[in-house]
């Protein structure tokens, strides 16, 4: 996202507490005069001068957001309040990276923006699901009460280079396991379905949404409508990695959605956007990134020693 905004001619202030991100991901930008890095947590107020705000803050994988569920909720709720307050003071556009998790384990398929969802408010995933739902509420209340210029994107599973090798999400898990020759772990029997969008396509959609007229608020589903089972994804990654990894099944997590696929008719109509990079091409690029990463001894040793 930072690279894209700079290439479009913007000056960028990147704010990160590096809980899930890594400094190496933005190292190529550190010497760019249009880039500034602030190590900061959005649960605390932020005082900067900007024209637009992209609020992407919050760990997105179950491993990370369940590690400290109270902090996860604070990041979504307190973070939204702080960023909305900043946008109000500056009269700036603010975009919220919401999530397909607001739909929970959906009873409607594919999911459209007018579907209110099927969410467990007290389960182990609730810190993320309900935190993001509350953030959407805050954004629309600021829009109604203060006429703030808001954009809300509901992001479906995104993947690509620079994911953390210990990210805990299915694409990075499977690729690392396949490259190391470790068993690939399915939770349940792998019949759950997901839709995976390559990161370049997602960044393009967010930039397009941010550039829409003031009366376009969202929420807008952003994702790739191509649906695949988790078991099929595992077999595809094994093939692309030329791996001999076996597939093993573990216990399915609580409230894990059975199916997930976005209806992107709104994004097509409003943003003139549709994903361009198919799953095979995107996985091939992502596998190449992790293959290079695993060539580093320290990274490889940490993953080989990881019991998961």
Q: Which residues are catalytic, by number? A: 128
Cα gap 200→74, rounded to integer Å: 29
Residue 228 pairs with which residues in a beta bridge? Answer: 194
Q: Pairing mode, if any, of strands 227-229 and 193-195?
A: antiparallel
Nearest 5°: phi and psi at 31? -95, 0
The residue whose two tokens read 């507490």 is 17
Q: Integer distance in angstroms from the first to the last C-alpha of the chain?
A: 30
Q: Buried (b) or exposed (e) across 239-251, using 16+ Cβ within 10 A? A: ebbebebeeeeee
Q: What angle do CA 221, 225, 231 make, to 5 degrees?
A: 125
C-alpha distance from residue 226 to each of 197, 233, 271 (Å): 9, 12, 19
Cα gap 249→185, rounded to integer Å: 6
Residue 39 burial class via C-beta count within 10 angstroms: exposed 0-12, middle 13-18, buried 19 and up:
exposed
Cα gap 248→230, rounded to integer Å: 12
The contacts of residue 255 (CB under 8 Å, 6+ apart) are: 104, 105, 120, 123, 124, 125
């Amino acid at each position: 996202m930072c690279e894209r905004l700079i290439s479009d001619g913007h000056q960028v202030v990147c704010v990160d507490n590096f809980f899930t991100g890594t400094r190496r991901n933005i190292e190529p930008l550190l010497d760019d005069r249009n880039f500034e890095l602030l190590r900061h947590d959005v649960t605390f107020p932020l005082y900067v001068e900007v024209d637009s705000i992209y609020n992407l803050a919050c760990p997105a994988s179950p491993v990370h957001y369940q590690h400290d569920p109270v902090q996860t909720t604070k990041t979504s709720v307190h973070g939204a309040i702080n960023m909305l307050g900043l946008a109000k003071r500056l009269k700036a556009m603010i975009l919220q990276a919401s999530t397909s998790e607001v739909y929970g384990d959906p009873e409607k398929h594919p999911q459209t923006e007018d579907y209110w969802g099927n969410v467990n408010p007290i389960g182990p995933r609730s810190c993320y699901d309900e935190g993001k739902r509350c953030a959407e509420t805050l954004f629309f209340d600021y829009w109604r009460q203060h006429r703030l210029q808001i954009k809300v994107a509901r992001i479906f599973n995104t993947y690509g280079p620079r994911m953390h090798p210990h990210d805990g999400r299915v694409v990075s898990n499977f690729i690392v396991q396949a490259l190391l020759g470790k068993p690939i772990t399915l939770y349940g029997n792998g019949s759950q379905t997901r839709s995976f969008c390559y990161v370049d396509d997602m960044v393009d959609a967010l930039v397009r949404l941010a550039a829409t007229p003031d009366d376009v608020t969202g929420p807008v589903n952003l994702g790739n409508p191509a649906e695949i089972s988790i078991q099929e994804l595992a077999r595809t990654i094994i093939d692309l990695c030329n791996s001999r990894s076996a597939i093993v099944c573990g216990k399915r997590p609580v409230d894990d959605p059975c199916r997930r696929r976005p209806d992107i008719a709104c994004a097509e109509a409003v943003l003139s956007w549709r994903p361009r990079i198919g799953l095979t091409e995107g996985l091939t690029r992502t596998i190449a990134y992790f293959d290079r990463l695993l060539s580093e001894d320290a990274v490889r040793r940490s993953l080989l020693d990881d019991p998961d």
